[in-house]
Amino acid sequence: MSISANRALANAASYHCGIKHSTSPSVSQPVIKRGYTADTAVQTSTSTKTPRKEVPPAEPWRRHASPDEHTPTVFTFFEKATSTWQYIVVDPHTQEAVVIDPVLDFDPNSGNISTQTADGLLSFIDHNGLTVRRIMETHAHADHLTAAQYFKQQLGGDIPVCIGQRITQVQQTFAPVYGLDQPDAFDKTFDVYFKDDEEFKLGELSCRVIHLPGHTPDHVGYLIGKAVFTGDSIFNPDVGTARVDFPGGNAEHLYKSMQRLLSLPEDYRLFVGHDYPKNRDQTCWSTVTEQRVRNAHIKLGTDEAQFIEWRKSRDAVLGAPRLLHPSLQVNIRAGKLPPKDEKGRLFFKIPVKSEVDL
């Protein structure tokens, strides 16, 4: 989910949080203590990268075998710290793959960025002989950092990082909030800006981009055969739908996006971006039929005005995501860390609203 950013991004004052950054959990890092002043940075340590082949491959939660010649095999990986579903989507005919919404690990208390989750997925790709053709984001997430740039770096071959074309709106909204005023702040970030209903190939499979606004203006889903990757639009039936209090979020647009998903054939599987299970194991998908009948927020036939009123009321009492500011600063730049200062240090900026001038 993402954001009560209209409340959380209140003004231009900034508190700086130093970050440090490691390449793998198997590489030891020096312990660096954080100071207590706003300008204290944590030095970025250097180390030799552990080769991917030495990292154990991540275990997928499930392997969802292709049910027909038009639908991919889907390997699903749940990142528990942010309740995020990551997907490796494979054409079984060619072993070509795309990676959807990969996670970069970040501990806000220590300021440490690491790649344990991403390295596990990369090792899985290696061990299974997959050829990754694209890294695809559903939107600019505000609850976890994307590992898209790290995947691009590690996989080589100039693999494109892809997102919906309206990411530029989100970049324009947040660039001044986080001081990304340099002319080149967004150069060499995303490689492909998908148009609505754009089609492309994954091996022998046909893929289509679906614009699903509401949660964010840039939000897209990916339709590949009978598999639909919905990001943070619709969630599992007992969880419901995504919030819309992101700048540019819109309850009316979300309602229409939900109608678009619910109008798909009844046996299509909707693979979600997050899960927040209560009294059950995590799960990543449900059928269109199950969503039409059981979705907690919007079933088939739910009144539009009633849904919009409920969604806005619900969002008004939700707090901001825990990783809101670090996530946005990285994710609007396709997984690139903030620019270093003149001393080579990395910082995240946190806008602060103060009622007193001290």
Quick one: which of 137, 134, 200, 146 has its CA closest to 167? 137
- Residue reference for tokens 């059981």: 294
**Residue type for 282, please?**
Q
Q: Where are the domains of the chain?
A: 13-20+59-352
Q: What is the pLDDT of residue 181?
A: 85
Helix (H) or strand (E) holding 257: helix 251-262
Q: What is the pLDDT of residue 260?
A: 98
Contacts of 100 (CB under 8 A, 6+ apart): 86, 87, 88, 89, 136, 137, 138, 222, 229
Q: What is the CATH number of domain 13-20+59-352?
A: 3.60.15.10
Helix (H) or strand (E) holding 123: helix 116-127
Angstrom distance (rounded) from CA 54 to CA 75: 21
Angstrom distance (rounded) from CA 296 to CA 54: 44
Joined tokens for residue 290? 């199950």
Q: What is the pLDDT of residue 9?
A: 53
Angstrom distance (rounded) from CA 265 to CA 230: 15
Q: What is the pLDDT of residue 2?
A: 42
Q: What is the pLDDT of residue 211?
A: 98
Report yes or no: 166 and 191 within 8 Å, Cβ to Cβ.
no
- Residue reference for tokens 């494109």: 160
The number of C-alpha atoms within 13 Å of 111 and in the hemisphere containing its C-beta is 22
Helix (H) or strand (E) holding 52: none
The partner residues of 15 in beta bridges, in order of sequence, read 350
Angstrom distance (rounded) from CA 115 to CA 159: 19
What pTM did the predictor assign? 0.87
Q: What is the pLDDT of residue 157?
A: 75
Q: What is the pLDDT of residue 38?
A: 30
Angstrom distance (rounded) from CA 289 to CA 296: 14
Q: What is the pLDDT along the chain (358 residues), one digit of tens a residue?
A: 444 445 545 433 333 344 555 544 333 332 222 222 233 233 333 333 445 558 999 999 999 999 999 999 999 999 999 999 999 999 999 999 999 999 999 999 999 999 999 999 999 999 999 999 999 999 999 999 999 999 999 998 799 999 999 999 999 999 999 999 888 999 999 999 999 999 999 999 999 999 999 999 999 999 999 999 999 999 999 999 999 999 999 999 999 999 999 999 999 999 999 999 999 999 999 999 999 999 999 999 999 999 999 999 999 999 999 999 999 999 999 999 998 899 999 999 999 989 999 9
Q: What is the pLDDT of residues 152-167, one digit of tens each?
A: 999 987 999 999 999 9
The partner residues of 286 in beta bridges, in order of sequence, read 270
- DSSP label at residue 241: B
Q: Computed over its alpha carbons, how large is the radius of gyration of the chain?
A: 20
